[in-house]
Structure 1
Amino acid sequence: MPNFALLNNVAHKNLRVIRDNTVQFGDNERSVVTFPQEFRAIQNEYPIFFQKNAETGKFIPIALMGLRQNENLFLSENGWDAQYVPASVRRRPFLIGVQPPKPGEGNQPSRMVYVDMDSPRVNESVGEPVFLPHGGYSPYLESIVELLEYIQYGTELNDQFIDVLLAYELLEVVTLEITLKNGERNNLAGLYTINEDKLSGLAGGAVADLHTKGFMECIYMVLASHSNVIKLIARVEAKLSSQ
């Protein structure tokens, strides 16, 4: 279980973070959350689908990286084998949290940076320093803060995107049934995608609404990304043939 602590330059003055991507660091996930503003980069390499969050029941867009549990086909001996690494992977072991306002500080909550102290990336000897010797943010931490703000914006955008898709009934369940050359069958259930029939049947006002909100392009990115399932299969076959 993660052990998130509020980041500060006193308790964590010597903190360092290893930025490598490996199975040992927990990067062997079959999918990760993605965000509309990175769909263009994601769809070049990863299939985009939707899943229901097991805890909240809310839909979230995901980048699919493997066909089997605990399988990330983009991990190699040399690290991450793709031109673009999803934002939700790059932010590790940090996340952004919200603290309620203190008395006399107005009504706006504060966004704070937290670090998972139990992450194997975190130590005090190797990796990127989090703070400068005098206590200021290191360039690495500054980039992380910017990335966390990007993710926070993306999380809000995800909610808006999903609300629109549900309002126009554009989500439909899909099951990927994939049989490999060696006869191994992989059934990926619990995925959702865009219903193309309902999309093409939308009234002009609905189409205009999607365009105005910038979500029509997101929809096309999702649909275009599905061709990457073939690339995932090719990666599995190459992996099996080399073993």
Structure 2
Amino acid sequence: MAKNELLSNVTHKDLKIIQGHTSRGGDNVGYAAIIPWEFRQAAACYPIFFRRTKSDNQFEVVALFGFAPDENLYVSDQRREDIYIPLSVARIPFAIGYTQDTETGQREPVVHVDMDHPRVSFTEGNPVFLEHGGNSPYLDNINSILAELINGVNVCKRFTDILQAEDLLEPFVLKITLDNGQQIEMGGFYTINEKVLRDLNAEQLARLHSQNFLELIYMSIASLANIKKLINKKNALLKNKI
């Protein structure tokens, strides 16, 4: 369970964040959300799927890292491979929270930090604040990432809303058999319905293209070629354990 606290240059003046991506550092997750302007980099590395969120039953877009909720085949305890790291992973252990302005009633974004995260330290890592209380370059970068995520989530919602409206999402069950005979079945994901896509008329295609969504659709379809790479990683991992 995360222990989120509102980030403060007083309470957290000595806070440091350990860098690197390892299983012990909290990177043992099977997928992570991505936003539209990450598609190009993410599609070069990971299979991209859609899934319903538990909180509000909306769709989000995710990059798949492994075949179990706690399996990341792109990370080991020794090193992180030279691949694209989604912003939703890079921002950890920080998160976006909201406060409500008492005068205007508007919600204002604030930065929270998970004090129970294994990357949080007071002895090693990148300092979050400068000696006299200002933001460190590291925190400035985190703030930029969080701002991108706020904007990206809004665009992503428009994207998935139009996919639903055009009936372009279909449930997907991934069934594979590994070299050792182990069978894996994963459900709960959605992909682009390519038959429906092919049957869209000119007006529908123009509407998708005008919002730069058509490109995202084709990149998500192309990314599914990475499923084979993921299977190869899993087979290699199991072989090395023998």
- Band the TM-score falls in, shorter-chain normalisation: over 0.9
Which of 145, 154, 157 is equivalent to 2:155? 157
Q: Deviations over 1:152-203 (max 9, x none)?
A: 1111111111101001000001111000111000001111000001001111
User: Secondary structure of the equivalent of 2:27?
Assistant: coil
Q: Counterparts in 2 of 1:55-134, with a 5 A limit? A: 55-103=55-103, 106-134=104-132
Q: For 1:29-82, what per-residue CA distance to the aligned partner results, in whole angstroms no more than 9, with x for missing partners?
A: 111111111000000000000111123211111100001331100012432214
Correspondence 1:238 to 2:236? yes
Superposed displacement of residue 107, structure 1: 4.8
Q: Which amino acid aligns with 1:87?
A: L
Partner of 1:18: 18
Identity %: 41
Count residues in correspondence: 241
Higher mean Cα deviation, 149-158 or 39-48?
A: 149-158
Alignment check: 8 A CA contact 1:74 1:82 kept: no
Q: Does the CA contact (< 8 Å) of 2:169 and 2:190 recur in 1?
A: yes
Cα pair 1:173 1:193 within 8 Å, conserved: yes
Give deviations 1:113-164, integer Å, cap 9, x for gaps: 1111111211211000000011000000000000000111111111111101
TM-score (normalised: structure 1): 0.96
Distance 1:77 1:28 in 2: 10
For residue 32 of structure 1, what is the amino acid of its counterpart? A
- Aligned counterpart in structure 2 of residue 221 of structure 1, from 219, 222, 231: 219
* CA contact 1:45–1:82 (8 Å) conserved in 2: no
User: Are 1:50 and 1:62, in contact at CA under 8 Å, matched by a contact in 2?
Assistant: yes
Query: Shift of the alpha carbon at 1:26?
Result: 1.9
> Where in structure 2 are there 5+ consecutive unaligned residues?
none
Match of 2:190 in 1: 192
Alignment of 1:24-35 (within 5 A): 24-35=24-35
On the 8 A contact 2:24/2:77 being kept in 1, the answer is no
Q: Using the alignment, how far apart are the partners of 1:203 and 1:70 within structure 2?
A: 41
CA-based RMSD:
1.1
Q: Distance in 2 between matches of 1:14 and 1:52?
A: 38
SS in 2 for 1:24: helix
SS at match of 2:109: strand
In 2, Cα distance between the equivalents of 1:60 and 1:195? 16
Alignment of 1:206-217 (within 5 A): 206-217=204-215
2:24 is paired with a residue whose SS is coil
Runs of 4+ more than 3 Å apart: none
Q: Report the equivalent of 2:169.
A: 171
